[in-house]
Structure 1
């Protein structure tokens, strides 16, 4: 019997002896009247209960319905999260940092900001090699690769810091440990995140007597990553990083321009060009969004002398079989994953091999 129809069939009748309201469940509707013969329910078709019991039944039914609704919502959220993890194209369409959207932004970056930056460099150098300007192509590609590595390192450090902070908040790590770590120790912890089990076992074969104090100092703090609560810490750290991605991208862009860009572009006039700065800012922001994905989106660049992989790269300027220079790296969904956006290569001139 359906629950809503059951409630609909609860009818108020009057007890002729006590003049108190009672309720009956049945197939027929009994009119409310003072006539005992009309109000007397048929025991074969009705169940008579007291008002207090009826209210208790209503309350329990409402509780059960709420539990069912909550469980349905949780199941729906879990299924949605699983789809987003397994099939990135099924990600929340409102997420502007989803991988498919990053592929579109990456392609647009090459069409717009890269072209403007190329013209900025070209106006300050002599035009040669039929307008292809391989030196400028190398500078722009080298900028992107350095920016990506910068964002990758910054992203790993941020992830570890947020996880450590959450572990401190719930008492799994001492606050003193977080601030006592030297930059070299933090970078070592970042690098160890990407090691395989074999690499870790090889490093663990070192003489433990060499650094006993250091091992004791950090073993307790790192153990929380082996606990059952770590997946929850990891998930909430990832959610926070995505929620703060816009702000983080802006701050990392400012940091890169101040600390790294002067070494990559020594010429202050070129470095101050608004077209070059816009290209750098857009590269940092986009690379940051790539690196906070789980798993991270990656870019790949071929080396000089390799055969052109037409599945990953298109030709720029001329055709050929051997890579002379990578103009624009290819974008992959993850390490060894499917291609999201093809890159461009400048091949060697054919007459060089004749």
Structure 2
């Protein structure tokens, strides 16, 4: 795995060895620090504020002020914070590699599976009489119905086999901020935009557009699933059908289950529909001029669609500007107590639910 905090480590190393003239890319170091804080929410807020303040002092460029700050504050823990972050990423990477290696080893020896004796299906089946088969069938059906009722609109019950379960989506959302958001930020910088706040707000607008769009499309999608189940030939073809009045309420759990289990297949169509419906807004804001911006936009739509088809839907929240910083957001590149602008929204398991990933805001 490559170095994830090269600018931050280089800045701290220059200060450590008093090479003040070699200090550069402090803004990039601040962005890397914001990523570190988001990945390690257990870091105390006072430590975060002091670390950010230290970078502000360094950015001011006065060697005397840097030395003075170090003399009055304990900065020895900063290297350890970065090391813990890199160890966390390394552990995650190694875990993925181990799973992949085990899978490869299992599939690399076809003879092993061929040598396993095949079960005698006929013999086993003959040992069970009809009564046993009926009991097993009833138990299976009862378990399935009970499981569906427990999971219905209950985010606390998670199917661990689901690759798009909320905890996995939260990880994807973090990685998107680390990777695609950073690439899109740099692409907008290269396009000539120098104002940090303007860049951040453009990227936030894309994500907000995608989130609101996907919530609407998910509701419409559920209605279409309901209609397909109740009116196979179409509503207008069977207007006189004697349909049960509360059939939609009865089918709602099953409809949500179908959408949650199959909705990922609709991602390409949802992405194309988003582009078509928001074409004017995209062109007006000059948001589709590079591969990085386009990739970021499509990833926003993908993750927001997966948020929207959860049961209940996951929620993104952008705190209002000039409100108090709280424990649900971490500081971006400066220190302060009130929000100047939002960099990245907070992700909740559902409306009024627990925090899945903290947001990022620039304070003042």
Please tell me the TM-score bracket, short chain as reference: 0.5 to 0.7
- The correspondence for 1:278, drawn from 267, 271, 295, is 295
- Cα shift readout 1:147-177 (whole Å, capped 9, x = no counterpart): 1001111111111122122221399x54476
- Give the CA deviation at 1:232: 4.9
| 2:179 is aligned with 1:116 | no
Query: Take 2:342 and 2:244, find their aligned partners in 1: how far apart are those partners?
Result: 39
Contact kept in structure 2, 1:89 and 1:100, CA below 8 Å: no
Q: Which secondary structure state, in structure 2, belongs to the residue aligned with residue 345 of structure 1?
A: strand
Contact kept in structure 2, 1:88 and 1:98, CA below 8 Å: no
2:216 matched to which residue of 1?
Answer: 153
Contact kept in structure 1, 2:231 and 2:238, CA below 8 Å: no
Q: Which secondary structure state, in structure 2, belongs to the residue aligned with residue 248 of structure 1?
A: helix
Q: Which secondary structure state, in structure 2, belongs to the residue aligned with residue 324 of structure 1?
A: strand
2:304 matched to which residue of 1?
Answer: 287
- Trace 1:303-318 onto structure 2 (pairs within 5 A): 303-310=320-327, 312-318=328-334
Query: Take 2:243 and 2:349, find their aligned partners in 1: how far apart are those partners?
Result: 30
Query: Take 1:300 and 1:337, find their aligned partners in 2: how far apart are those partners?
Result: 11
Contact kept in structure 1, 2:316 and 2:346, CA below 8 Å: yes
- Trace 1:60-99 onto structure 2 (pairs within 5 A): 62-85=129-152, 88=155, 90-99=157-166
Unmatched runs of 5 consecutive residues or more in structure 2: 1-125
Instruction: Evaluate the alpha carbon distance shift between residue 292 and residue 86 of structure 1 in structure 2; reply closer, same or farther with a 3 A threshold.
Output: closer
Larger radius of gyration: 1
Contact kept in structure 1, 2:349 and 2:355, CA below 8 Å: yes
Contact kept in structure 2, 1:167 and 1:233, CA below 8 Å: no
Q: TM-score, normalised by structure 1?
A: 0.61
- Give the CA deviation at 1:96: 1.6
- Give the CA deviation at 1:252: 1.0
Q: Which secondary structure state, in structure 1, belongs to the residue aligned with residue 284 of structure 2?
A: coil
Q: TM-score, normalised by structure 2?
A: 0.59
| 2:278 is aligned with 1:260 | yes
- Give the CA deviation at 1:92: 2.0
Q: Which secondary structure state, in structure 1, belongs to the residue aligned with residue 129 of structure 2?
A: helix
2:266 matched to which residue of 1?
Answer: 248
Unmatched runs of 5 consecutive residues or more in structure 1: 1-58, 178-219, 349-354
Q: Which secondary structure state, in structure 1, belongs to the residue aligned with residue 183 of structure 2?
A: helix
2:251 matched to which residue of 1?
Answer: 233
Q: Which secondary structure state, in structure 2, belongs to the residue aligned with residue 306 of structure 1?
A: coil
Query: Take 1:100 and 1:254, find their aligned partners in 2: how far apart are those partners?
Result: 27
Instruction: Evaluate the alpha carbon distance shift between residue 343 and residue 248 of structure 1 in structure 2; reply closer, same or farther with a 3 A threshold.
Output: same
- The correspondence for 2:199, drawn from 115, 126, 136, is 136
Note the aligned Cα RMSD (angstroms): 2.7
- Cα shift readout 1:57-101 (whole Å, capped 9, x = no counterpart): xx9x82321222112212332344345447646422221221111
- The correspondence for 1:101, drawn from 139, 164, 168, is 168
Instruction: Evaluate the alpha carbon distance shift between residue 224 and residue 285 of structure 1 in structure 2; reply closer, same or farther with a 3 A threshold.
Output: farther
Contact kept in structure 2, 1:88 and 1:100, CA below 8 Å: no
More helix by share: 2
Query: Take 1:288 and 1:159, find their aligned partners in 2: how far apart are those partners?
Result: 13
Query: Take 1:230 and 1:294, find their aligned partners in 2: how far apart are those partners?
Result: 16
Taking CA–CA contacts closer than 8 Å with sequence separation of 6 or more, which of the two structures ends up with the larger relative contact order? 2
- Give the CA deviation at 1:224: 5.6
Query: Take 1:235 and 1:242, find their aligned partners in 2: how far apart are those partners?
Result: 11
- Give the CA deviation at 1:265: 4.4
1:210 matched to which residue of 2?
Answer: none
- Cα shift readout 1:200-234 (whole Å, capped 9, x = no counterpart): xxxxxxxxxxxxxxxxxxxx99x96852x435532
| 2:361 is aligned with 1:298 | no
- Cα shift readout 1:278-297 (whole Å, capped 9, x = no counterpart): 10111101100111111111
Instruction: Evaluate the alpha carbon distance shift between residue 119 and residue 85 of structure 1 in structure 2; reply closer, same or farther with a 3 A threshold.
Output: same
Contact kept in structure 1, 2:336 and 2:363, CA below 8 Å: yes
- Give the CA deviation at 1:324: 0.8
